[in-house]
Amino acid sequence: MGVQYVVAVSDIDVGPAPELRYRHKVSLMTAARGLWHSRELVLTLAERDVRARYKQMFLGFAWAFVQPLSMTLVLTIANRKGVGADLDTHGVPASLVNYLGLIVWGFFASSVLGGGLSLLANTSLLNKVRCPREAFPIASMAVATMDAAIASIALFVMFAVTGHGPRGTSFYIVPLLVVLIVFTLAVTLAIAALVVYIRDLRSVLPLALQLGLLVSLLLPLGKTQNASMLFWCALDPIAPVIDGVRRAVLFGQAPRWNLVGIAALSSSIMLVLAWNLFTKLEKGMADVL
């Protein structure tokens, strides 16, 4: 290799020619393939989060119950005092109805909170290794899934205590969970990317989730359907999911499929939009982290 001194280019202050501009285009397929390749990374990250979280804690995994149980207590007392009392429980104890809804909401809330801050929390990793950045919010969702699974154990204890078992229609929850996961993924990805640029969201997030909890759980969907309810389900797909899960598991009814369908449609659109937002914002992340 000979000596090759690079002569300073004369247009150095002008900037690069427009055709040289770097275009950050990631097709959904490439992204999905990259993500599939890094599935082990997602699991390792999730495992790390779980381990790191329960280190130096005395109660350990018990925390997964404590939160929904205490909220159930609050909500059940609120029900007694007349808040959201128009909820038809079909003879099932209100605490059970509330707890089931809280498991669903808890999954969503801890995904969004954990996943939303996951990129900020992992700045040192993001600045070091090239890996699909979606892995971080998705790993947080995996952690939230585990928490929900642990919280569900308490559900079975409550079934045994109250004598109200899960109904035969429980298998209906499978499509509902798909809608839940799609919607949660969409919100988590969007928040995770936005928080990097707009740090205010960090303070807004817990507040918004508190409000969301009240809206999705305390204001149950009415019995009669109207246009505004459909619109509401499109905006807040969690509400029909919680409604459907309660019907399927506790009341022995089928979910209201038209509401779930609207929720599924809007969640899918949200996911595509969120994914686009994420890849778009990902380009400049290392500059501001």
Contact in structure between 244 and 251 (CB atoms under 8 Å): no
| Pick 13 or 223: Cβ nearer another protein | 13
The C-alpha atoms of residue 27 and residue 44 are separated, in whole angstroms, by 25
Give whichever of 15 and 82 is closer to another protein, judged by the CB atom: 15
Q: How far is the CB of 133 from another protein (least distance, A)?
A: 9
The C-alpha atoms of residue 272 and residue 67 are separated, in whole angstroms, by: 32
Crossing angle of helices 201-213 and 173-197, in 10° steps, is: 150
**Is the CB of 124 or the CB of 226 nearer to another protein?**
124
As measured in angstroms, the least distance from the Cβ of 7 to another protein is 10
Smallest distance from another protein to CB 277, Å: 16
Beta carbon nearer to another protein, 15 or 168: 15
Between helix 28-37 and helix 39-54 the angle, nearest 10°, is 60
Task: Using the minimum distance from each CB to another protein, give the nearer residue, 127 or 162.
Answer: 127
Structure tokens at 65: 């119950």
Q: Tokens representing 181?
A: 């996961």
Cα separation of 219 and 247, whole Å? Answer: 16
Backbone angles phi, psi at 32, to 5 degrees: -65, -40
CA distance 243 to 179: 13
Closest distance to another protein from the beta carbon of 283 (Å): 5
What token pair was written down for 171?
């298998």
- CB of 106: closest distance to another protein in angstroms? 23
Closest distance of CB 184 from another protein, Å: 24
In the complex, minimum distance from the CB of residue 113 to another protein, in angstroms, rounded to a whole number: 18
Is the Cβ of residue 50 or residue 158 nearer to another protein in the bound state?
Answer: 50
Collapse the DSSP code of 240 into the 3-class scheme (helix H, G, I; strand E, B; otherwise coil) and give the result. helix
Residues at the contact surface with another protein, assessed by CB under 8 A = 1, 3-6, 8-9, 12, 15-17, 20-22, 24, 37-38, 40-41, 44-45, 48, 51-52, 55-56, 124-131, 283-284, 286-287
User: 56 or 226, CB closer to another protein?
Assistant: 56
Which residues, at least 6 apart from 140, have a Cβ–Cβ distance to it below 8 Å? 46, 49, 110, 111, 114, 115, 118, 188
